[in-house]
């Protein structure tokens, strides 16, 4: 499904979370007649312990690192996110438009950690031997259909370590690089297995007025990245 912005200043699609508690986005709420462009995923079951062992992550590796993001070894991705976790290399990419809006992406209900939370915009792990920039370019195309001709430079703007537990499902313990791109072509072709919804939000307003956005349930790594981004401005 390819999405292009209409003549209105706001366009949005998504699941149930995209229809509730959106607060302020530009000067408009939902325009009359706007409809979700993806089928809402309303009912799902949390992953059980048995399911976790069969999860696709069980067959993948991530790069374990020290506090300086120096490679230590390859570790199983599921092991890195289970119990107390293993510190590993990760990245998040913030996608903007020329009007100072950030593209928020709702994580699929099938995600093991932070399912249905809103990210800004994609996050993942580079494979062994892959740079953060190359990994970002790859994930932008795989998750959102955004190709390199739709933006200029991929800027590496920050790096931080964090550790957060998610309910009883697992943990993120990452040294997370932050990258940013600004789109010149707003066409999107999201992967519905990865993305449950998308919306554009005014970046300054999102940071300055979090009370307007509580029902979005932002991913912790994005909240940290955004807070640090504004602290350096």
Active site residue 174: yes
d(C-alpha 153, C-alpha 88), whole Å: 25
Catalytic residue among 56, 142, 172, 174: 174
Q: For residue 108, give Cα distances in angstroms to 5, 105, 189.
A: 22, 9, 15
Any idea which residues carry the catalytic annotation? Answer: 174
């Amino acid at each position: 499904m390819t999405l292009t912005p209409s003549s209105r200043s706001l366009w949005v699609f998504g699941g149930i979370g995209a229809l509730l508690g959106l607060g302020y986005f530009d000067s408009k709420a939902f325009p009359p007649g706007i409809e979700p462009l993806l089928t809402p995923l309303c009912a799902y079951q949390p992953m059980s312990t048995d399911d976790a062992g069969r999860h696709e992550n069980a067959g993948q590796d991530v790069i374990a690192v020290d506090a300086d993001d120096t490679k230590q070894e390859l570790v199983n991705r599921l092991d890195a996110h289970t119990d107390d976790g293993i510190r590993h290399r990760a990245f998040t990419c913030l996608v903007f438009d020329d009007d100072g809006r950030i593209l928020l992406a709702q994580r699929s209900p099938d995600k093991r950690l932070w399912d249905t939370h809103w990210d800004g915009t994609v996050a993942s792990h580079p494979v062994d031997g892959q740079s953060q920039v190359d990994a970002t370019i790859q994930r932008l195309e795989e998750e959102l259909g955004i190709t390199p001709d739709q933006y200029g430079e991929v800027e590496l703007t920050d790096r931080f370590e964090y550790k957060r537990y998610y309910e009883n499902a697992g943990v993120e313990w990452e040294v997370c690089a932050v990258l940013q791109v600004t789109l010149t072509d707003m066409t999107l072709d999201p992967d519905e297995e990865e993305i449950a919804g998308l919306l554009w939000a005014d970046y300054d307003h999102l940071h300055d007025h979090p009370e307007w956005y509580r029902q979005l349930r932002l991913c912790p790594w994005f909240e940290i990245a955004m807070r640090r981004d504004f602290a350096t401005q």
